[in-house]
Amino acid sequence: MQELVGRLTALDPEASESLKVIAYFDALVEGHAGLEVLLRGAAVLSGCGAGFRHTQPALAMAVDASGRRLPAPAAGEPGPAAPTHPLPGGGVVWLDRAGPAHANDAMVLERLAIGLAISIDRRAERMRDTDALERGALETLLDADEPSDARTAAARRLRLDTVPLAQIAASPASEASPAPREVVLTTSVGRVRARLVVAGTEPRVDGEPPTRTGIGVATPPTDLATSWRTALLALRMTAPREPLVRAEELGVVLLAAEAVAADPGRPAHPDVAALDRIAEATARGTESRGADALDLLDALARAESVRAAAALAGVHHSTMQARAADFCGVLGFDPRTPAGRVRLSDALRLHRLTTAQFD
C-alpha cells in the first residue's frame, strides 16, 4: 500500500490544524511516549527543529527538522527569535522556526509542553517506585531470617545476580545523606543506614567531620546479611581518629567482637572493664586532670612512642609520660611496651563496640 494514504508531513503553514495536533499528542501521551518521541512529534508536525529545557530535574534535549536527536551541546537554549512556551513545572519548549511563525506553532508548543510535563512526572514516579522496590529488596537481603529463594529474588531485583561479591557500608542514620540503594534500619545501637556497595567500588567517606562508616566483609549478594552484621560491628568500632573501619582489616578482633555482640549479658573482659571505669570516671568529672583519658589512651595505642602519642593528642610530653604511668596501675599492664600497645588497641576497640550508640 505504501504511500497511498500519504505520509505524516508538516502541517499546512497557513491553515489551523489544531485537531490534528491535539490528536497526535494525545495518542503519544496515552501511549506513554518518551521525551524524544514527543519532541520528534513537534518537529515533524511543524517542519522545523524543536527543543526543551526542564529545570528540576535538569533535563534538556533538541531534535532537528527530521526528528533526529541533536548532540547535547546543541540542546540548551532557544534562539533569540524562536517561538517558545513555558513548561509547567519550570523550563521552556521551543521551535527552531526561522522566519514568521506558522499557524500551528503555538498549538504544537502548548501540546508539546503538556506532553513533556506528563512524561517527566511519570519518569519521576517510576524512579520513586524503583527506589522503593530496591529498598525493599535490600531489606530482604540484609535479613538473615529470610528464606534463600526470597534473597535470590531480591538480589535479582537489585541486578546483583551476575555480581560475585558485594558489601554493606554502615553509617549512623543521622550523619549520612540519603542515597539510592540504601535503607535505614533500627538496631540495638540506634538507627543505622546500610548502603549497598558492589565490591571493587571504593565507598566514599567525605564530609567534615567525615561520616563514621563501617564496611562489612565482601560476600556473595545472597549472603549480604553477613556483610551487614560485620559492617555494623565495624561501625561500632570507629573512633574520631579512625572514622572508617573495614571488617576485613580487623583481624581476630572481628571474632572477639562477634562473640561480645552475640552475648550482651556476658561480663566484660578485665581490660575492657578497666577502660569502662576510666570512661565512667571521666563522665562523672572525678577525673579532672585536663585532657580526656580515653583520648590519651587512643593516642598511646596508635603512636610509635610516648613522644609521638603526646604530639598526636596535643599535650606536653611530660604530661603524657605522667599519665601513661598512671594508666599502668588502672589497666594492670604497661601500654608503652609493644605488647601493651596491641593489648590496649584491642581493648579500646571492644570498649567502643559495647558503648557506641547512634541516634
Contacting residues toward other proteins, per CB under 8 A = 1-8, 20, 23-28, 31-33, 36-37, 40-41, 43-44, 66-68
Q: How far is the CB of 129 from other proteins (least distance, A)?
A: 20
Q: How far is the CB of 36 from other proteins (least distance, A)?
A: 8
Q: Which is nearer to other proteins, 26 or 161 (CB)?
A: 26
Q: How far is the CB of 33 from other proteins (least distance, A)?
A: 5
β-pairing verdict for 190-198 and 166-172: antiparallel
β-pairing verdict for 50-54 and 91-95: antiparallel
79 membership: H or E segment, kind and range: none
C-alpha closest to that of 356 among 182, 204, 191:
191
Determine the Cα–Cα distance for residues 44 and 240; give it in Å rounded to an integer.
62
Q: How far is the CB of 115 from other proteins (least distance, A)?
A: 10
Q: How far is the CB of 71 from other proteins (least distance, A)?
A: 17
Helix (H, G, I), strand (E, B) or coil at 211: coil
Q: Which is nearer to other proteins, 125 or 161 (CB)?
A: 125
Q: How far is the CB of 131 from other proteins (least distance, A)?
A: 25
Long-range contacts of 61-70 (CB under 8 A, 24+ apart): 61/35, 61/36, 62/96, 63/36, 63/39, 65/96, 67/39, 67/40, 67/43, 69/36
Q: Cβ(219)–Cβ(165) under 8 Å?
A: yes
Q: Cβ(274)–Cβ(331) under 8 Å?
A: yes
Q: Which is nearer to other proteins, 7 or 266 (CB)?
A: 7
Q: Which is nearer to other proteins, 3 or 208 (CB)?
A: 3
Q: Which is nearer to other proteins, 29 or 245 (CB)?
A: 29
Q: Which is nearer to other proteins, 9 or 186 (CB)?
A: 9
